[in-house]
Amino acid sequence: MTITTAPPRSQTGRSHLQESLFSWLTPQDRTPAPEPEQKTAPAPAAKKQPKDLSHTWVVAAEIPVAPKIAKVADDRGSFRATEGQRVNALEVYCQGCRRPYDEVAGTDCAEKIDNRHLIGGDQSTRAKRKIPTPPRNARILPGGTINRTGINAYVSGVSRPVR
């Protein structure tokens, strides 16, 4: 036996459903709207922590592994080493500035100060690329324009050979 109840005829539409969602909130539970803040003098700024300029040292390592572990390392890009396994360190360098330990130990990390050394120096003062000069007996012939847009690009030359 199935019993169904219909909503009262006075409640037409769906608005009565939304009202029932929040019926458990009483007026004292509702939070009042935030009051507009009064403009006052800004509070003195707290002491800023000095920026950490230390190096993050990493080791390029050489670890002998079994063929099964080599396959997992190749697929996943990582593997679990066994406890007590000896690791040969090939190079120790800073992960940020990519400089060797013996060159920059005891100094601040250049990557955290200014990252220009990783992009080849200051771009405004760097020398421009030189255009290669053609050989002496070479002739430069002017070429036609190539249409790389629209249906003409598909029909002739770009994805099919020129007819």
150 in the Ramachandran plot: left (φ > 0), alpha (ψ -120 to 50) or beta? left
What is the pTM for the complete model shown?
A: 0.41
Whether 109 has a pLDDT exceeding 70, the answer reads yes
Q: Render pLDDT for 39-64 as a digit per residue (tens, 0 to 9).
A: 666 666 667 777 778 888 899 988 88
Q: How far is residue 77's CA from residue 118's CA, in Å, rounded to a whole number? A: 25
Q: How far is residue 65's CA from residue 81's CA, in Å, rounded to a whole number? A: 8
